Structure 1
Amino acid sequence: MGFSASSKDIRKLKQAISKKRPEEEVAEISTWIVKDNLSREEILNRAKEVYGPGYEYLIDDIDECIIEAMALIEEAGIDLKEKRIYKEKLSAIFGLLSDKKSIQKLSLRFLGAEGKDKVDALIQLLKDDDPKVRSEAARVLGWIGDTRAVEPLIQILKDQDEDVRKSAVEALGRIKDPRTVKPIVEMLKDESSEVRAYATYALAGKKDPSTIEPLIFMLKDNSWRVRLGAVYALGNIDDPRTLEPLIFALKDENAYVRKRAVEALGKRKNPNAVEALICALKDEHFIVRIETANALGNIQRPSAVQALISALEDEFENVRIEAIRSLGKIGDPCAVEPLTQLIKKGNSSLRWEAVKALKNIKDPRVVEALVFALGDISDYVSEEASKALVEIKDPRAVELLTSLLLDRWTLSWIRIKAVQTLAKIKDLSAVEPLIRALKDEEPSFRKEVTQALKEITGQDFGEDQEKWQNWWEKRNSV
């Protein structure tokens, strides 16, 4: 049998809304509660329907709105205690996280704990008959992070409800207190794989070397989520004993576990992991290969260069992109030729990445490759090549660019790009070739040359080649 609000209650609410003039969302939610007796979950679902999927960006805090709506209903003289939103206590529990004292005060009152400390009130709720209440109270205690909650949370680790145990473990993981570590380790033995997984992630935040052995044991758990959490936790502990277990995890049957192990090894930057990571670069799953290419770039060992060059042929473009980036990070000259070939034959994304990688490699061939890329049909690749030529500050760049701008067989827009790049480099050795270029027949080209001369010299003789030449000769004679 559905709920039906009395016309009297609806009239009372309308009068209260007219008098108090609350925010639109508060008025609407109060109407839903009175007319349809909605629970918190039902209010959230209806808010999605009314305001769209991004309602949380329109409503700053849905629970604050619910608490204010409940207060409005109470002020209207309607029996709030008969409403599901009041009985379930959930919005009042979340209301205790509000920065507004008024919301916290109302929340405590709706929880029957008026005047009490919010942590004490939440600890008391850990004994509630409703497991949902116990679970959410535990979670909120974790977010608050008060150490007074440690012992009460440890007590409910034995709760019969799985969600309560998960929330208690999560909360203990958030609270910074040494007493929390051992109880969380014990939860690695829980019958529920979900609870065990929560325990591994809770330990990840502790970064405690005493948990290494229990976590290593969890790498053989039958749940991939538990193994994933164990790898994450081991990766957070800065201890040489974690290296071998993480390398072991590279052979896990689950791709997400292998990927997480690669991430951890890449973050650690231990050169002893390079050989194992080179093998992982051939993993059957592309997400592992992508992460491996990135990790090898973080470690930056020359021994990984050939494997990364081979990865430039990977069937997945994102693997090739990460390999290019890592070759740039390592900066080995062996990568110049394959990266140059990508500039000539790859798609625009690969060409762009190759240009960015090449500028980090100290090798004379790089300048030629970047000048070639200056003529790329893609504007963003050409612009990146120009920026790279400016950044590397190689004198040969000026020489190649000046020869390019004087070559009338070169396309006009490429010559213009060369002039613009010379203007950014600001090398005086480009002045004389630029003055000679003022003889060019194309007006747009001469305009760019004039602008480049102004930026390099600080002088302005327009397109008058004779004046530029006289000034230049006079300057050099002095």
Structure 2
Amino acid sequence: MENNDSMREMLVSQDPYLRRDACEAIGDGRMEEFIPALVTALRDDDPGVREASIHALTSIGGEKVASAIAHLLGEESAVLRNIGIEILELLGPDAFMTLAGLLDHEDDDIVKFAVDIISNTREERSLSILFPLISHRNPNVRASVAVCLGRLKSPEAVPVLLKALEDTEEWVRFSAIEGLGLVRDGRALEPLIGLIKTDSGLIKEAAIDAVAKLSSIEDAVAVLATLKPMVRKGRSFSTNGIVELMEKVFSPGSDFRPSLEFKKTYFSFFSKAFEDEDRHGKLKALRGLALLRLPAGEGIDRVFCFIEAQNELDEETEAFLVDTIVALSGRRLLPELKENLKQGSKCLRIIVKALGEMKLAAAVPVLQHLVARVAKNEMREIVVALESIGSTSSIEVLYQFLESSDGHTRKIAARALSSLAGPSAVSSLFDAVRRESYRDVMEEITDSLALIPADSVRKGFIALLEADNEQLREMGARGLGAIGDEEALDVLKKAAKDTSHNVRKAAYKSMARLGIPYAIDEIVKGLNDDNDDVKLSVLKGLGGWSGEKIKSALVHALMDRNIWVRYHSVLLLGELGEHDVEGLIIEKLVKDEAPVKAAAARALERLGATESVDILMQFVDHPDPSVRGAVESAIESLRC
């Protein structure tokens, strides 16, 4: 009782934070006796209080809340009405009986709100009480009922929805059509086709969209055949609906073989739609043209026209246009494609992608001819297309790209040659590494070489370790780790003594990548290197390793002068999962610098070191946010 009195005082406090706290506490406690007070709080001037009261009411839930909220649907304030709708929807099944009781309310708006909420909660038991409302005096209610019945997707609703097609109000008929499209029951097919034939405007468009949704492949064939005479006479239909029907009749499971007359009829339809409609409609029309696959690339000029009219294209649209060109060209190198490439229009990049998708060897000379006059981005697309084509002639051109002025193009060419030419490309790729001046490109070519299963690759990497150029020696060490050859260990041991710290880094990293247990003695030697970057590289390579030798090396590294070496050593000790190092980690928490303290807290959490909680508590107010965050997380986890 005392607690309840305190809550009531907080709910009427002048401080909105106290009012909000009260709502939250009531919700957490699911205190039903405060439902009326929470409903009152929905009118609070403070948005935080209103939000808290909504959460509290939905947390309490049940029919009592629904009953207490229902009257908000009749409020003049749209804000309060929307709050009422939101809560009733969130209550779900608990609100059903309350909503059912509103369906015969004298206020038509409240009836409509109740139907809409039932529609969103998808309560199937509402069918029997909704059916009579399809004859409600208010057309807005009838329309909402039609959509609601559709969302419930019950076959029992079909006769009621078919009856609603005869409603005197167009909006109700439109909603009934929408409902039938959602139910997708074949019984609606003929009545809807009848509407397509006899009605116009909004009803006709809705009917064809609904027919497209509920038609099987066989139904779609029959519908398109029925519509064909009307299409030929110039009657307009929903482009989206016709395309959806077309996708069904031309789907993989269909044995439909259209006549030339059929194709030409719908080609004219889509061509007109392309001219008349907005951007979305034009894309739909292009999809329809692509499905028809008329000979000689008919319709491909519309694709070019569309591209030229755009300021920019997103990736999804670009991919769609590539697929459309492939379909309309019949996977042939049409004169229109070559002409557009020759002109260097906006279409160039998309056509290049399409040629790659078609894998046309005949396109290689055309692509090669473009190289001298395209920008870097377009050149990269040409390389990707040549890789996709994968013919002998495309491989020959790819070798030329290893000497491109664009580093990214050289990367793509190397990757393509490693997969297409394999061992025969080894010599050229090593030559490319030797003359390369950019590290990232060297690394890409090295990694591409490592993918080629040939002994010449291993020998080539070993040879690089003898080069005067330290970057080449580094690539040799990198490559040997990438190919995963255990025989490379002795060579990598030698490389770990190189005068260049970058070569030593690569050597230790590669030894770790080999994953050979007996290599551990050599790997941990890297933790004594005089270069911090080498030590950090070794620590990163040790992730996932375990064993006494690893633990001993990490414990030794806790004394390193470099803070980040100590940091990673602490984290790795935590990952080892061995509790005998907890004392050392606690010492780091207490005595080391902030980053290491944070690492120590995370390591203790990982180890499940419950006895460290009292010590961790000493750092909950540490000035460094990374330390506070790690400590709080560790304490929360260890106390569970």
Smaller-chain TM-score range? 0.5 to 0.7
Paired residues of 2:232 and 2:265 also in contact (CA < 8 A):
no
- Cα offsets for 1:39-63 (capped at 9, x unmatched): 9xxx9xx79xxxxxxxxxxx9xx99
Would you say 1:209 and 2:257 are equivalent positions?
yes
Gaps of 5+ in 2: 1-35, 41-53, 136-144, 251-255, 310-317, 524-640
Question: Residue in 2 aligned with 1:21?
Answer: 61
In 2, distance between residues paired with 1:280 and 1:27? 68
Kindly indicate whether the alpha-carbon contact (under 8 Å) linking 2:380 and 2:412 is maintained by their aligned counterparts in 1: yes
- Pair 1:391 & 2:438 matched: no
Counterpart position of 1:101: 124
CA distance, structure 1, for counterparts of residue 77 and residue 163 of structure 2:
27
Report deviation, 1:193: 4.9
Q: Distance in 2 between matches of 1:280 and 1:187?
A: 36
Match of 1:359 among 398, 413, 418: 418
Residue 288 of structure 2 corresponds to 233
Partner of 2:357: 298
> 1:397 Cα deviation (Å)?
2.9
C-alpha separation between the residues in 2 aligned to 1:256 and 1:90?
46
Which of 249, 271, 291 is the matching residue for 2:299?
249
Distance 1:201 1:283 in 2: 35
Change (3 A) 1:256 1:14: same
Aligned mates of 1:396, 1:442 — CA distance in 2: 25
Asked whether 1:324 is paired with 2:383, we answer: yes
CA distance change for structure 1 residues 351 and 140 in 2, over 3 Å: closer, same or farther?
Answer: farther
How far the C-alpha of 1:166 sits from its partner, in A, is: 1.5
Name the amino acid aligned to 2:170: P
The alignment status of 1:163 with 2:202, answered yes or no, reads: yes
The whole-number CA distance in structure 1 between the counterparts of 2:191 and 2:412 is 54
Q: Map of 1:174-189 to 2, 5 A cutoff?
A: 174=213, 175-176=215-216, 177-178=218-219, 179-186=222-229, 188=231
Q: Is the 8 A contact 1:138 1:167 kept in 2?
A: yes
Counterpart residue identity of residue 304, structure 1: A
In structure 2, what residue type is equivalent to 1:400? G
Determine helix, strand or coil for the equivalent of 1:204.
Answer: helix
Q: CA RMSD in A?
A: 5.0
Taking structure 1 as reference, are residues 138 and 296 closer, same or farther at Cα in structure 2, changes over 3 Å only? same
CA contact (8 A) 1:94 1:140 kept: no
Deviations 1:269-311 (A, max 9, x none): 844345543334357753x333322221121122112333455
Q: Which residue of 2 aligns with 1:469?
A: none
Match of 1:420 in 2: 478
Question: What is the CA–CA distance in structure 2 between the aligned matches of 1:233 and 1:34, rounded to whole Å?
Answer: 48
Counterparts of 1:386 and 1:452, CA distance in 2: 13
Identify if the C-alpha distance between structure 1 residues 128 and 272 changes in structure 2 by more than 3 Å, giving closer, same or farther.
same
Q: How does 1:66-145 map to 2 (within 5 A)?
A: 71=96, 74=99, 80=105, 82-84=107-109, 86-87=111-112, 91=116, 101-102=124-125, 108=131, 111=134, 117-145=156-184
435 and 21 in structure 1: CA distance in 2 versus 1, 3 angstrom threshold: closer
Distance 1:437 1:356, change over 3 A: closer
Contact 1:405 1:419 in 2 (8 A): yes
Q: Deviations over 1:91-123 (max 9, x none)?
A: 48965xx76534666655654689981222222
220 and 345 in structure 1: CA distance in 2 versus 1, 3 angstrom threshold: closer
SS in 1 for 2:403: helix
Q: For residues 145-180 of structure 1, give each alpha carbon's deviation from its aligned partner in whole angstroms, at most 9, with x where no partner exists.
A: 221110111111146452221221122222214332
Q: CA deviation at 1:212?
A: 2.0
Partner of 1:434: 492
TM-score, structure 1 normalization: 0.68
Please give the alpha-carbon distance, in whole angstroms, between the structure 2 residues aligned to 1:384 and 1:140: 56
Tell me: CA distance 1:93–1:417, structure 2 relative to 1, closer, same or farther (3 Å): farther
CA contact (8 A) 1:339 1:354 kept: yes
TM norm structure 2: 0.53
Query: Per the alignment, in what secondary structure is the counterpart of residue 419 of structure 2?
Result: coil
Structure 1 residues 385 and 133: alpha-carbon distance in aligned structure 2, compared to 1, 3 A threshold = farther
Distance 1:110 1:149, change over 3 A: same
In 2, Cα distance between the equivalents of 1:160 and 1:66?
41
Q: Cα offset for 1:77? A: 5.7
The match for 1:405 among 457, 465, 474 is 465
> What is residue 398 of structure 2 aligned with on the other side?
336
CA–CA separation in structure 2 for the residues paired with 1:105 and 1:383: 70
CA gap 1:87/1:293 in 2 versus in 1, 3 angstroms: same
Conserved? CA contact 2:263–2:294, under 8 Å: yes
Partners of 1:419 and 1:448 within 8 A in 2: yes
Supply the AA of the counterpart residue of 2:430: E
CA contact (8 A) 1:128 1:134 kept: yes
- Is this contact kept in 2: 1:267–1:295, CA < 8 A? no
Deviation at 1:329, TM superposition (A): 0.9
Q: What CA distance in whole angstroms lies between the structure 1 residues aligned with 2:244 and 2:131?
A: 31
Greater relative contact order (Cα 8 A, min sep 6): structure 1 or 2? 1
Alignment partners' CA distance in 1, 2:491 and 2:285: 64
* 2:168 match: secondary structure: coil
* Aligned residue runs from structure 1 range 459-478, under 5 A: 459-460=518-519, 462-463=521-522
Give aligned pairs, total: 421
Within the candidate set 314, 320, 323, 1:263 is matched to: 323
CA pair 80-219 structure 1, distance change in 2 beyond 3 A: same
Q: Partner of 1:345 in structure 2?
A: 406
Q: Which amino acid aligns with 1:216?
A: F
**Residues 103 and 115 in structure 2, CA contact (< 8 A), matched pair in contact too:** no
Greater Cα shift, 381-390 or 176-185: 381-390
* AA aligned opposite 2:266: L
Contact 1:250 1:262 (8 Å CA) reproduced: no
Pair 426,264 (structure 1): closer, same or farther in 2 beyond 3 Å: same
Aligned residues: percent identity?
Answer: 18
- Alignment of 1:150 with 2:189, yes or no, is yes
Letter in 1 for 2:245: A
Partners of 1:26 and 1:281 in 2: CA distance: 66
From the superposition, tell whether residues 290 and 84 of structure 1 become closer, same or farther in structure 2 (CA, over 3 Å): farther
